[in-house]
Structure 1
Amino acid sequence: MIAMLPVFEYHLVNYRRTWRSSTLSSLVLPLLTMLGFGVGVGAYVTGGVEGHPYLEWMVPGLIASTALQTAVGESSWPVMSCFEWVRGYFAQVAAPLRIADVLAGHLAFMMFRVLLSVVAFLLVALAFGTLRSAWSLTVPLIAVLVGLAVAGPVAAYTASIPSDTYLPIVLRFVVLPMSLFSGVFFPVESLPEVLRWVAYALPLSHAVDLTRAATLGLDPGAGAAGQVLYLALWGVAGWALALWRYRRRLAV
């Protein structure tokens, strides 16, 4: 655990050069999304969804989706850079660091970025008055869970491909469908049964349910513990898969 800290610090120092632009986007994008979908589209959903105004119902889905997209973004091109362009990983394993430390330190930084994005979104949501419960304070923890659930597998995929031309496949065929069909914009129950089971198999739908229960103050039900465990299993499996691929790529 201690050995990963220098790797985390390395990525943190690099982030000092770009944090201003990312901070601006972290605040502007949630604002535009809430205005466009929540206020614009929500004006046409006069009856609300499941007894809640559409904006309040949709915001937790957007927060969970933001966590997922940030994790995917940080575990794709930046990881490819560390393998192919900057080759920072090779320099780190040449030092007295294990490959597990290199991966853990970078994953820790990815979760740091997830937390920054989600906290920014929560501040915008608070300004719009869409947080209805003190349980909203648990949303960053849920964001880290779903972030780990996807960052590991995507990092493993990135470590397995020869160039970044393969990375848009993840965005087009994984991230976009998952964002559309995981209960972010409409209930999963409104999908056809086959797609419903696909949504339940993916991690984002469970993160959306947990985040929605937290922000709206709903009873998460008996299945909440199972959803947390399911996201944790995705994270553990992703870690193991990424570690295997990193060892194959970095072993000399």
Structure 2
Amino acid sequence: MGDYWLTVLARTWKGGVITTFVTPFFYVLALGVLLGGFVDADPATLEGASTYLAFVAPGMVAAHAMTIAFADLTYPVMGMLKWQRIYYSMIASPLAPSHIVLAQLGWVVLRALFACGVFLLVLAAFGVFETVAGVLAAWLVQGLVVLAFATPVLLFSLSIKGEESFALIFRLGMIPLTLFSGTFFPIGNLGPVLEKVAMVSPLWHGVDLTRMLTLGELDWGMVAIHVAYLGVLAAVCWWLAIRKLAERLVS
């Protein structure tokens, strides 16, 4: 499986240059610097961030990890299952469904860690982080964030018969999560009811955890809750994805 994914990387890395290197810079410039220049808020309203750029930067990193999970585990999975049927050639070897799922999720985690690492390096040039240790911890956390999305998205992709449903999860899933999970403004601005709804979102847990680490404002109780929530979600959906892949390949 390692050979397979290295071959995929060798054949597709050029297509990821823009999203990995160029896009993060323009995100930071447009939302953090230019738009952020019009935001003059008290740090108390920005969860301890001294500037809007410092507030929005960790949110954009976590949202970037989520976007990679959606991009890599929707249409590519459908291709391997339905169009090119690569999964069937894999299962014809000594590989089990658990091996296939492990390798695919490992590929997505490594890709996300690399992309988010580049994103954090771009942000570091703007002087928005408090400590190097906090940034390194936030970078490692993105592996958990992407897993918390990769496993349910993979499960969804394995559960549907056609690609028509992907537009639905992009429009009603990924985009609303990006906008209303604390990435660009505190979820307290949504009101008491929608704030509770936002707290159910895996992205809010990822954003809040990343933000605490980069700002150096750690609430260890919340850290434990965030890690447990993301970890349990990833573990449960991982197990279900293995069962679903085995069911699809056998049938």
- TM-score range (shorter-chain normalised) is over 0.9
Indicate conservation of the 8 Å contact 1:153/1:238, yes or no.
Answer: yes
Whole-angstrom CA distance in 1 between matches of 2:78 and 2:166? 9
How has the CA–CA distance of structure 1 residues 50 and 235 changed in structure 2, closer, same or farther, with 3 Å as cutoff?
Answer: closer
- Residue 174 of structure 2 aligns to which amino acid in structure 1? V
Indicate conservation of the 8 Å contact 2:120/2:139, yes or no.
Answer: no
| Counterpart check, 1:33 vs 2:27 | yes
Whole-angstrom CA distance in 1 between matches of 2:80 and 2:175? 25
Whole-angstrom CA distance in 2 between matches of 1:219 and 1:152? 27
Indicate conservation of the 8 Å contact 2:32/2:56, yes or no.
Answer: yes
Runs of 4+ in 1 over 2 A off after TM superposition: 47-51
Instruction: Give the aligned partner of residue 204 of structure 1.
Output: 203
Indicate conservation of the 8 Å contact 1:8/1:108, yes or no.
Answer: no
1:1-252 alignment, distance < 5 Å: 7-47=1-41, 49-51=46-48, 52-134=50-132, 135-252=134-251
- Residue 162 of structure 1 aligns to which amino acid in structure 2? K
Q: Count residues with an aligned counterpart.
A: 246
- Residue 6 of structure 2 aligns to which amino acid in structure 1? L
Indicate conservation of the 8 Å contact 1:210/1:220, yes or no.
Answer: no
RMSD, matched Cα: 1.3
Indicate conservation of the 8 Å contact 2:56/2:183, yes or no.
Answer: yes
Q: CA deviation at 1:221?
A: 3.5
Q: Percent identity?
A: 35
How has the CA–CA distance of structure 1 residues 33 and 84 changed in structure 2, closer, same or farther, with 3 Å as cutoff?
Answer: same
Whole-angstrom CA distance in 2 between matches of 1:196 and 1:222? 19
TM-score (norm 2): 0.94
Whole-angstrom CA distance in 1 between matches of 2:74 and 2:10? 20
Q: CA deviation at 1:9?
A: 2.9
Indicate conservation of the 8 Å contact 1:75/1:155, yes or no.
Answer: yes
- Residue 154 of structure 2 aligns to which amino acid in structure 1? A
Describe the superposition over 1:15-45 as per-residue Cα deviations: whole angstroms up to 9, x where unpaired. 1111123023211111111111111211111
Whole-angstrom CA distance in 1 between matches of 2:39 and 2:10? 42
Whole-angstrom CA distance in 1 between matches of 2:41 and 2:100? 50
Q: CA deviation at 1:174?
A: 0.8
How has the CA–CA distance of structure 1 residues 90 and 187 changed in structure 2, closer, same or farther, with 3 Å as cutoff?
Answer: same
Indicate conservation of the 8 Å contact 2:158/2:244, yes or no.
Answer: yes
Whole-angstrom CA distance in 2 between matches of 1:99 and 1:195? 39
- Residue 2 of structure 2 aligns to which amino acid in structure 1? F
Whole-angstrom CA distance in 2 between matches of 1:242 and 1:219? 33
